[in-house]
Structure 1
Amino acid sequence: MRLPAFLALSATTVAAVGVAAVLVLRQPETAAVTGSGELLFPALVGAANQINEIRIQKGSETTTIVRGDQAWSIRERGDYPASKEKIKQLVVELAQLRRLEAKTDNPERYASIGVEDVGANAGSTAVTVTDAQGQPLAKLLLGETPTTGATTDTHFVRIPGEPRAWLAEGALSAEPAVATWIDQTVIDLPADQLAEVKVTRPDGKTLTAVKADAAAPHFALRELPRNRHLKSEDALDGMAIALTQLQLQDLVMANQIDFPAASSSHARFRTFDGLIVDVELVQHDGKDWIRLSAAAVPGATAATVAKAEDLNRSTRGYAYNVYTWKVAPLLRSLDELTDAGSGS
């Protein structure tokens, strides 16, 4: 069964695409060139639900978004799920692109506006949209954005194989970076659901933030020595929010990142309803990477078991490059969290 027709454009969008051509001011030397004011891809609106693949390439970086039976995925990231909302936005933007002003047809000048054929050292971004048979529904070389004189979103563009470059009107976001096209939220585990966060460092030392019950305003430190006190009552809150709206910067297959015991830390998050989320953390090439797994404590409800299964299903086999500021609180030492003295 094919994907539901979620790419079908709304009546408002179709109306916007089909509105009469805007008044175009033409330079004298290009006024005779036909096509000014026309949509670049007039058939794309009706063909939106035939789209099977979208490929975006700039230099040596390529992102291929592929349509499956139930979801879209990123080929270069082990078929990790892609954001259907971002895909829909790209299709709508392509469908609304309009030729505004004819530009050069001299290949020697293509590079000056970024519409040369895509290649390792080229400034252009190639966007190719194809159907299930591999037939192109839209092909575009996206160049530079004019820095002066533009009152609306405009871009230099060229259709591959055509000599004429154009100044096109319309918003268009076609970044080749993989992270642009996926749901960047890895996990969202609210801090108020947590009963415990236990971090084990590579040297075996542990720090555990605990709450007696959900009503407690802050976390206590289980390993707090008698001669020390927390620097502030919310000193451990950063540990608790590490998995709240955790966003990724990039992801790879988990076997591409090594998590050696000698340099990896481990954090275990346990919720009041019995969900356990294990997080391994390591630095690789100056970036913070994690991998996740989940389980439910014995006797947990069916809903909690389902949460663990869903999390494992979506994250198993992947390693995530996450923002340092988000996971840094998990790696704070006892000295960073506490001061000398009982605090009484």
Structure 2
Amino acid sequence: MNRRTLLLLSGAAVVAVGGAMLLTPADQPPPSPAGAALAFRGLAQRLQSAAKIEAKRHDGTLEITRRGETWVLPAKGGYPVRQEKVRELLTGLTELRLTEPRTANPEMLDRLGLEDPARDGATSTLLRVLDAQGGVIAELVIGRRRVRTQGNVPESAYVRRPGENQAWLAEGRIPVDADPQLWLDRDIANLPRERVRRVAISRTGAPPLVLTRSADADAKLQLAEPADAPPTDETALDEVGRAFEFLTFLDVKPEAEIPGEALGETRFELSDNLAVVVRPRKDGETIWITLAAEGDDEAARLNARWRGWAYQVGQWKEKAFVPLLAELRRQEEQRTEPADEAPEQPAGATDAPPPAPQAPAAAQDTPAEAPRPPQ
């Protein structure tokens, strides 16, 4: 074989390798962890008897308990949590796999965020799933999570079993949050402003107000009572109409524990035979409301969610639920009102302050002029 033949064969080999590289996908999928051991074998069957979920950290414990088919927060009077978040957590535990053993040295656990969760300043979380008798169904100390940018790479976290020093890298999603606020569905209602046809406002210590909207498609709320009221501000009226658009709460309590002083009552009449009665209360700077719906099936669904609960809403909602007449007036009208008259003064009196008293000449500090010497 001569030199030319060798060069031709080498060139062909280079072309073949290059073609193979072009035909091979650049991003190979990661190896499947299917061969790794499940963290909890047979967990799905045992979870049918789950009655409590605990997430313990050094600064507190989150508890979620089961009432019938609903998971609730005892710290919020038994208010329901986001059920899909509970399902995601429990499903994640059943699918969690221990893919790689890591350190078993207790002095190294801090680096993985797997220190004792009860220790001050610890970042780890002790997750436990218990049955109705308090028996442990599953428990795990969860440490740092590994962040991966590729979309086809599963989530992972460092974990260990309580009472053991062996750390593991586990693949799977474990959406555990120790903050109870993150488990709540904050939506109260979302009723478009166009549905509001009439609003009757009875604010404590203030004259009643009535707002109405005509049947026209583009009609806006107007102040109907009192009839002799001054011109109103369109934006302020629109805020009343939007009272239930994307309405969310900041906090929630059982209705029997609602704090504050009652501000009155407002009845919103909407299309499709729906009415909503709002009863706000003010506790310092916070606004709390209770809601009751009247009507057909839609009202029944809303009452199933609202009944028995008091919601803290934003302070600005006070002007939407129980506005005063002065808050609905056009701003220009308020600014052009004459100022209060000053009290009458005696004859000869002026607004100028009296002159300051002069000190006697002898008491003045300016020294007398010295006599001139003789020429």
Task: Mark the structure with the bigger radius of gyration.
Answer: 2
User: Which whole-Å deviations, capped at 9, do the CAs of 1:189-216 have from their partners, x for residues lacking one?
Assistant: 3433322234444542555432133745
Corresponding residue for residue 316 of structure 1: 307
In the TM superposition, 1:137-286 aligns within 5 A as 137-146=137-146, 152-201=154-203, 203-204=205-206, 207-213=209-215, 215-223=217-225, 228-232=230-234, 235-261=236-262, 264=263, 266-284=265-283
Aligned residues: 299
Cα distance, 1:336–1:129 mapped onto 2, change above 3 Å:
same
Contact 2:117 2:126 survives alignment (8 Å): yes
> Aligned equivalents of 1:171 and 1:328: distance in 2?
44
User: Which whole-Å deviations, capped at 9, do the CAs of 1:121-141 have from their partners, x for residues lacking one?
Assistant: 442222211234443222122
Cα distance, 1:217–1:96 mapped onto 2, change above 3 Å:
farther
Gaps of 5+ in 2: 1-30, 334-375
> Aligned equivalents of 1:188 and 1:98: distance in 2?
41
> Aligned equivalents of 2:297 and 2:129: distance in 1?
37
> Aligned equivalents of 2:78 and 2:211: distance in 1?
36
Gaps of 5+ in 1: 1-18, 24-36, 297-303
The residue identity in structure 2 corresponding to 1:220 is Q
Q: TM-score if structure 1 supplies the norm length? A: 0.70
User: Which whole-Å deviations, capped at 9, do the CAs of 1:285-341 have from their partners, x for residues lacking one?
Assistant: 7544322234x4xxxxxxx25554554443233222334566664466656552446
> Aligned equivalents of 1:77 and 1:164: distance in 2?
37
**Post-superposition offset of 1:46:** 3.9
Corresponding residue for residue 38 of structure 2: 39
Matched, 1:123 2:105: no
Cα distance, 1:179–1:212 mapped onto 2, change above 3 Å:
same
Give the match's secondary structure for 1:160. coil
Q: TM-score if structure 2 supplies the norm length? A: 0.65
Which has the higher mean CA deviation after the structures are superposed, 169-178 or 59-68? Answer: 59-68
> Aligned equivalents of 1:240 and 1:120: distance in 2?
51
In the TM superposition, 1:97-108 aligns within 5 A as 97-108=96-107
* Structure 1 vs Structure 2 CA RMSD: 3.6
Q: Percent identity?
A: 29
Which has the higher mean CA deviation after the structures are superposed, 98-107 or 159-168? Answer: 98-107
**Post-superposition offset of 1:273:** 4.9
Name the structure, 1 or 2, with higher relative contact order (CA <8 Å, separation 6+): 1
Contact 1:178 1:250 survives alignment (8 Å): no
The residue identity in structure 1 corresponding to 2:64 is I
